[in-house]
């Protein structure tokens, strides 16, 4: 598991996400947000210029300043009195199928339908540009656990002009990103963030702290861009991890990233810990995407551009009791769980959810 001392805000400033053009396959709005919109300036680390993000009052952000405060704010849990037992796994899965595609992004362009490049949505079936915590919470979902009404999305994949959807339910891991896995707590209701950026360079994509393996198919691994050829009937896969340390103050910030950070390595140890600026350990989300791949891949692209522009969004709308049960049983409990919260290698530990993926 790759770690970095850089926070997302220092590495990839995500205000460029809201630029009016996103490259190949982008869809932009003909409407001008107007002079009444607020803006936030932030430097792009790889272009050296400043991009302004249009911010408008909407949904969860009534004043349109881009900051959504946590209520109440949260401080870090104290470390365990002694090191927890060594466990290789401390995770569970959320298996969620694709619901729809649309040029919407309720995090970057809330209340502005059609403004973004095309996205492929998973989980909550109602996700659109107007989605809020209230509209998502308790809604219908394609995730195996009915308690997971969260919204997950990423730029749509194309082969030429044909949209290619992922194969079946996708695996979204919830892991411990810190060594003391007993300090991981559930996501606060309404937390949202963006991982990566459509404007990142190929080198920034490779160096991203969430990088796991890059694009791969057949015997081709570690690719920044798409492999040029994949065996017939194979899968194009990608894994990318999200930051798991929270500042405890905001459910969102104007760049949609700086309220989150990746763990640091504690000096003089091999322990991964949350930095003082982001002291609250949350689950580390990891997307593991699987697309059908067959033969020539030279025409494959993302709606945001080349393979190095991959990024994804997460908007938490879990039922609180269900998420806590899975986090406590699987992550804090040091187990390798499926979507029911069941670890086949430790059957005696039982499952967090029943056969219908609901709380017992």
Is 14:8 a contact under the CB 8 Å cutoff? yes
Q: Is the pLDDT of residue 2 over 90?
A: no
Give the pLDDT confidence of 12-22 residue by residue, as tens digits.
333 333 333 33
Q: For 272-307, how does the pLDDT look when each residue is reduced to its tens digit (9 = 90+)? A: 999 999 999 999 999 999 999 989 999 999 999 999
Which pLDDT band, with edges at 50, 70 and 90, does 82 fall under?
Answer: confident
- Each residue's pLDDT tens digit, 122-178: 999 999 999 999 999 999 999 999 999 999 999 999 999 999 999 999 999 999 999
- pLDDT tens per residue across span 250-278: 999 999 999 999 999 999 999 999 999 99
Joined together, the tokens standing for residue 50 give 């400043």
Mean pLDDT of 328-333: 98
- Structure confidence at residue 55 (pLDDT): 62
Q: What percent of the chain has pLDDT above 90?
A: 79
- Specify whether the CB–CB gap between 203 and 193 falls below 8 A: no
Q: Is 52 in contact with 15 (CB distance < 8 Å)?
A: yes
Identify any residues that bridge with 242 across adjacent strands, giving them in sequence order.
none
Q: Which residues pair with 305 in a beta bridge?
A: 302
pLDDT tens digits, one per residue of 88-99 = 899 999 999 999
Q: Please compute the mean of the pLDDT values over residues 42-46 and round it to a whole number.
A: 31
Confidence (pLDDT) at 56: 66
pLDDT band at 77, cuts 50/70/90?
confident
Confidence at residue 302, expressed as pLDDT on a 0 to 100 scale: 98
pTM: 0.85
- pLDDT score of 43 more than 50: no
Closest CA to 228 of 159, 299, 160, 306: 299
Summarize pLDDT for 209-218 with one digit per residue, the tens: 999 999 999 9
> Do residues 279 and 261 make contact, with C-beta atoms less than 8 angstroms apart?
no
- Which residue's structure tokens are 């109602």? 126
| Residue 317 in tokens | 């709308």
Cα–Cα distance measured from residue 106 to residue 125, given in angstroms and rounded to the nearest whole number: 14
d(CA 339, CA 296): 35
Predicted pLDDT at 85:
86
Using H for helix, E for strand and C for coil, what is the string for the chain? CCCCCCCHHHHCCHHHHHCCCCCCCCCCCCCCCCCCCEEEEEECCCCCCEEEEEECCECCECCCCCCEECCCCCCCCCCCCCCCCCCCCCEEEEEECEEEEECCCCCCCCCCCCCCCCEEEEEECCCCCCCCHHHHCCCCECECCCCECCEEEEECEEECCEEECCCCCEEEEEEECCCCHHHCCCCCCCCEEEECCCCCCHHHHHHCCCECCCEEECCEEEECCCCCEEEEEEEEEEEEECCCEECCCEEECCCCCCCEECCEECCCCCCEECCCCCCEECEEEEEEEEEEEEEECCCEEECCECHHHCCEEEECCECHHHHHHHHHHHHCCCCECCCCCECCCCHHHCECCCCCCCCC
């Amino acid at each position: 598991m790759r770690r970095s001392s850089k926070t997302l805000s220092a590495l990839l400033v995500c205000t460029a996400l809201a630029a009016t053009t996103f490259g190949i396959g982008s869809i932009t709005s003909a409407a001008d947000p107007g002079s009444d919109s607020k803006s936030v300036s932030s430097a792009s680390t790889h272009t050296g210029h400043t991009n302004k993000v249009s911010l408008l009052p909407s949904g969860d952000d009534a004043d349109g300043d881009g900051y959504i405060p946590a209520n109440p704010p949260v401080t870090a849990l104290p470390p365990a009195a002694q090191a927890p037992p060594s466990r290789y796994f401390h995770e569970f899965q959320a298996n969620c199928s694709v619901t729809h595609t649309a040029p919407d992004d309720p995090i970057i362009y809330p209340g502005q339908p059609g403004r973004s490049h095309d996205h492929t949505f998973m989980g909550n079936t109602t996700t659109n540009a107007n989605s809020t915590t209230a509209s998502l919470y308790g809604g219908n979902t394609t995730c195996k656990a009915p308690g997971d009404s969260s919204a997950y999305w990423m730029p749509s994949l194309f082969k030429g002009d044909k949209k290619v959807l992922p194969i079946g339910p996708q695996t979204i891991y919830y892991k411990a990103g810190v060594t003391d896995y007993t300090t991981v707590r559930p996501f606060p209701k309404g937390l949202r963030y963006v991982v990566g950026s459509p404007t990142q360079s190929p080198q920034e994509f490779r160096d991203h702290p969430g990088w796991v393996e890059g694009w791969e198919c057949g015997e081709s691994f570690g690719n920044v861009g798409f492999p040029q050829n994949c065996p017939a009937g194979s899968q194009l896969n990608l894994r990318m991890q999200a930051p798991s340390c929270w500042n405890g103050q905001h459910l969102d910030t104007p760049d949609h990233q700086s309220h989150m950070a990746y763990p640091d390595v504690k000096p003089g140890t091999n322990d991964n810990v949350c930095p003082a600026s982001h002291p609250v350990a949350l689950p580390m989300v990891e997307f593991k995407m699987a697309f059908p791949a067959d033969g020539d891949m030279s025409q494959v692209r993302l709606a945001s551009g080349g393979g190095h522009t991959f990024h994804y969004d997460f908007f938490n709308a879990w039922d609180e009791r269900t998420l806590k049960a899975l986090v406590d049983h699987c992550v804090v409990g040091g187990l390798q769980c499926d979507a029911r919260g069941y670890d086949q290698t430790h059957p005696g530990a039982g499952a967090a959810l029943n056969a219908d993926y609901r709380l017992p």
